[in-house]
């Protein structure tokens, strides 16, 4: 079975986020003075072929922990692991 998976990766709260700061810095010039605490993270989407959802979730968890995020500075959240019925590109005949 194919699962569509989606993982969010965020910088840990105590760390300064240079990209977020830059966005905050640009806001007033555009007329927005009511925005605060901008944080820029990543989100990664992909498909996993697995026996069942539990297996898929376990693998996504491992990938997120070992590869997609760096525990020293980041946290991650699995946003979704959903059975996917359509064809992805790689399924072409």
Partner 1 sequence: MDQPLHLALGLTDDELDRIRQTLGRDPNPNELAMYAAMWSEHCSYKSSKVHLRRLPTEGPQVLVGPGQDAGAVDIGDGLAVVFKMESHSHPSAVEPYQGAATGVGGIVRDIVAMGARPIALLDPLRFGPLTDERNRFLFSGVVAGIGGYGNCIGVPTVGGEVHFAEPHGANPTVNVMCVGIAQADRLVTSAREVHEGSLLLLFGAATGRDGIGGVSVLASRTLEEGSEESRPSVQIGDPFAEKLLIEASLELVERDVLEGLQDLGGAGLTCAVSESAARARMGADLDLDAVPLREPSLQAFEILTSESQERMLAIVRPDRLEEAREVCARWGLSSAVVGSLRAGGGLTVRLGGNVVAEIPARSLADEGPEYYRPMEPPLGVDEVLDDDPTFATVEVAPEAALRSVLTSPNIASKRWVWEQYDSLVQGGTVLGPGADAAVIRIEGTLKALVLSSDGKGRYGALDPYLGAAHAVAEAARNVSTLGAKPLAITNCLNFGNPERPEVMWQFAESIQGMADACRALETPVTGGNVSFYNESGDSAIWPTPVIGMLGLIEDYRLLVRPGFSGSGLPIYLLGETFPELGGSEFAEVVLGTLAGRPPALDLDREALLQRLLVDAAAADLLDSAHDCSDGGLAVTLVESAIAGDTGFAANLPGDVPWYVTLFSESASRAVVSVAPERADGLEELAVARGVPFSRLGETGGPRMVFDGLLDLAVEDVRGLYEDAIPRLLAG
Partner 2 sequence: MTRRPRIGVITFPGSLDDRDALRSVRFMGGEGVPLWHAEHDLREIDAVILPGGFSYGDYLRTGAIARFAAVMDEVRTFAARGGPVLGICNGFQILCEAGLLPGALIRNRQLRFVCRWVDVRVESSRSVLTEGLASGEVLRVPVKHGEGQFVAGAGDLRRIEDEGLVVLRYCGRDGAVDDAHNVNGSLDAIAGVRSEGGNVVGLMPHPEHAVDPDLGPTGGQPMFASLLASALARV
Q: How far apart are the C-alpha atoms of 4 and 86, rounded to whole Å?
A: 10
What the block records as the tokens of 17 is 């986020």
Contact 38, 24 (CB under 8 A): yes
Is 85 an interacting residue with respect to partner 2 (CB under 8 A)? no
What's the closest the beta carbon of residue 70 comes to a copy of itself, in angstroms? 13
Is 6 an interacting residue with respect to partner 2 (CB under 8 A)? no
Which positions lie near a copy of itself, rule CB under 8 A? 8, 10, 13, 20, 23-24, 26-27, 30, 32, 34-50, 59, 63, 66-68, 88-90
């Amino acid at each position: 079975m194919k699962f569509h998976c989606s993982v969010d990766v965020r910088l840990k709260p105590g760390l300064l986020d240079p990209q977020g700061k830059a966005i905050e810095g640009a806001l007033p010039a555009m007329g927005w003075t009511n925005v605060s605490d901008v944080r820029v993270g990543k989100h990664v989407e992909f498909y996993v072929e697995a026996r069942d959802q539990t297996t898929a979730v376990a693998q996504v968890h491992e990938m997120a922990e070992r590869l997609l995020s760096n525990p020293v500075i980041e946290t991650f959240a699995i946003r979704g692991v959903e059975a996917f019925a359509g064809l992805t590109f790689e399924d072409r005949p």
